[in-house]
Structure 1
Amino acid sequence: MSTLRAAILAVLCGLLMIGVPAWLPLSGPQAGTAGAAAAVGAVVPARSAVSAPGAVLHGVATIAPASLADDTAGVVYILGGRELGRAAGAPWALTLDTRSVFGSVSGDFRLKLAVIDRLGGVTYRYPSYRVDNAGPVIDTTGIPARVAAGRTELSVRVGDLSRTARIEWWVGGVPSGTGERITADLHGNTQVTVKAWDRVGNTTAVTSLVITKRS
């Protein structure tokens, strides 16, 4: 990096903290989690896949603007008025731990990018990303608390931002089926566990106690 470019970035970093509007998630219930410390860096690991705006981010991810002008000298990534990191060369990418930056959440989020040209001019971009660090949501309404002894139909509804990859049922500690609906032979008090995975590897497990009625 030239001395002039370094000076521009240093000055810009100080100026960016003034008058920056509060960063908010576009959707999802997890506002306020962006203040967590972030493990970030401006160097892209070898063979690291770079995610363009609009991509689904999970775990450690590398992000970059879709395209920048040839006279770009640097990019500063900003979150909630603070600097996440800088990129000083093409592809102007930043690697970050999305769990540290956004938390264990799922939702659509927007960053602010300050793009500096070689003459010190600054333009701004506001790319959006879909972050998925939370497991599927399992609705267990279809698992009654009390049932008659014998064959019983059990069901759940599972939803996830990245779509569900697999659902497993465990009845009394024994694998008993897959999908959103099974029929199980229940007697006595039985623990019913439903495990679900999404397409990026997040998982959720919910256990219910089902009591059989006395005849």
Structure 2
Amino acid sequence: MASTIRKALQHSLEDLTERELRTFCANLLDREREGEPRVRRRALEGKDEIGIADVLVSTFTDAKAGRVAVETLQAIECNHIAVKLNADLENLKSPGSGPSANRMTPTSTARPGEHFVDKHRSSLIQRIRRFPPILDKLLDRRVLSQEEYDAIMAKPTPQDQARHLYSGALMSSGNTGKDIFLSVLEEIEDHLIEDLRRS
């Protein structure tokens, strides 16, 4: 259960922009409630989303870490992510029940023979962080034209860039382009791909 709570926390933190993640950590450090332990600045220094999730669980325990994260997300006005995390945590308490039971396992509805990058479209859009080197390689391998590359790079966030890539070049290039995209992801975002394959 602990590792699943960590995963839910990690995935929610990965949905934040860099600025939102910094604000989340700052709010966590300012948090002061009677009877609750305090998060030490040193504990968060240099931590990525995985490390921050670990700090939450080790500081507040499995039972409280999710609630603390939801409250902190609400405090920094990331309400849509707070709602999703809350639903994910409810699913962990009672797997297989309730209207949101499928949210933690979106791949269960995948069609047989569906390409990996289509099957995990939503997760890839939300979780890819290092998009420029991926786009460089797609341009080198002629999956993208220079015009498409420039249009995608002009988008403000990695999520917007990923959506633009999916709606354009990947749709038109068929399985060949998707195979190349997957091989680039395996090279640059190997931990993410490994995590999706395990899930």
Greater helix share, 1 or 2? Answer: 2
TM-score by length of 1: 0.26
Q: Which has the larger radius of gyration?
A: 1
TM-score by length of 2: 0.27
